[in-house]
Amino acid sequence: MAMALITGASSGIGLELARIFAADGVDVILSARSEDKLQALARELVVQHSVKAEVVVSDLSVQDSAKTLYEAIKEKGWEVDYLVNNAGFGVFGEFAETKWEDEAAMLNVNVVALTHLTKLFMPYFIQRRSGRIMNVASTASFQPGPLMAAYFASKAYVLSFSEAISNELKGTGVTVTALCPGATETGFQSAAGATGSRLFETRKLPTGADVAKYGYKAMQKGKRVAVHGVINKVLAQSNRFAPRSLSMAITRMLIARD
């Protein structure tokens, strides 16, 4: 039976992806910081879908945590077929005023751990000539984002990195999908300190389940970039043609609190 490693599996899109994998008969390795939430989800998946649901607690904001997670999985003898780099968070505020410790932790999760886990699992996937990788990027990947500058930059990295290695992997049997959701009803804004932002408050948002279902289908098809939602697709394309100064001004207006 196939097995998926899902980081950030305790809530939001990661939790919903775990449910979809399990419903499809795929065993899961659930990783995040909150052991209680992971254990509760594992019990749910075992009862409802009769799959194996393993828990490995990991804080990917800590240096070398990706290697520690990888080694824990190898020590158990679990063979991963799907790598889902979902863990990530944002920091809201003007860059001159935000705390470096928060930004450093965010970059460790969004960029360093994601890249390191991909680096660790890719050679095994290539050797086996099968494997699917999903890196959760964002519609933030497509333009700079004043008031969340480092977060937007981190997601631009995820998209660029994913597209590049997707090209490198042609003919290997391994695929990489960059999932790019827009604003989603996941609790992200609260964690990022962006509650009250127009981006999250002015329209009904898709749920984490909506995005997870779309992303799972895109990954299974081997799609390179998967932008969720018609409006988000249009906006992602329009950013290629609009002046970057205009794009930034609009983005700042949307991110700003009322």
Look at residue 256 in the predicted model and tell me its pLDDT: 63
Q: Is 186 helix (H, G, I), strand (E, B) or coil?
A: coil
Cβ 256 vs Cβ 198: under 8 Å: yes
Cβ 178 vs Cβ 135: under 8 Å: yes
* Number of domains forming the structure of the chain: 1
Active site residue 216: no
Please list, in sequence order, all residues whose beta carbon lies within 8 angstroms of the beta carbon of residue 3, skipping any fewer than 6 positions away. 26, 27, 28, 29, 52, 78, 79, 80, 81, 82
The vertex-175 CA angle with 177 and 70, nearest 5°, equals 85
Please list, in sequence order, all residues whose beta carbon lies within 8 angstroms of the beta carbon of residue 246, skipping any fewer than 6 positions away. none
CA distance 4 to 131: 10
Q: What is the pLDDT along the chain (258 residues), one digit of tens a residue?
A: 899 999 999 999 999 999 999 999 999 999 999 999 999 999 999 999 999 999 999 999 999 999 999 999 999 999 999 999 999 999 999 999 999 999 999 999 999 999 999 999 999 999 999 999 999 999 999 989 999 999 999 999 999 999 999 999 999 999 999 999 998 776 554 554 445 445 445 457 889 999 999 999 999 999 999 998 777 777 767 666 666 665 656 566 677 655
Please list, in sequence order, all residues whose beta carbon lies within 8 angstroms of the beta carbon of residue 57, skipping any fewer than 6 positions away. 31, 32, 33, 34, 35, 38
Look at residue 184 in the predicted model and tell me its pLDDT: 78
pTM (two decimals): 0.87
User: Scanning the structure block, which residue is given the tokens 């005023």?
Assistant: 97
Look at residue 200 in the predicted model and tell me its pLDDT: 47
Instruction: Give me the CATH number covering residue 130.
Output: 3.40.50.720
The one catalytic residue among 70, 82, 124, 151: 151
Q: DSSP letter string over 198-256? A: HHHHSSPPPBHHHHHHHHHHHHHTT-SEEE-SHHHHHHHHHTTTS-HHHHHHHHHHHHS
Look at residue 1 in the predicted model and tell me its pLDDT: 85
Burial of 25 (0-12, 13-18, 19+ CB in 10 A): exposed
Please list, in sequence order, all residues whose beta carbon lies within 8 angstroms of the beta carbon of residue 208, skipping any fewer than 6 positions away. 11, 12, 13, 15, 16, 184, 185, 186
In 3D space, the residue among 220, 224, 145, 215 whose CA is nearest the CA of residue 181 turns out to be 215
State the residue range of the domain holding 146.
3-255
User: Scanning the structure block, which residue is given the tokens 């020590």?
Assistant: 75
Look at residue 227 in the predicted model and tell me its pLDDT: 93
In 3D space, the residue among 234, 235, 177 whose CA is nearest the CA of residue 211 turns out to be 177
Provide the CA 224 distance to its chain's centre, in angstroms.
14
Q: Is 162 helix (H, G, I), strand (E, B) or coil?
A: helix
Look at residue 254 in the predicted model and tell me its pLDDT: 72
CA distance 230 to 236: 10
Look at residue 241 in the predicted model and tell me its pLDDT: 62
DSSP designation for 77: T
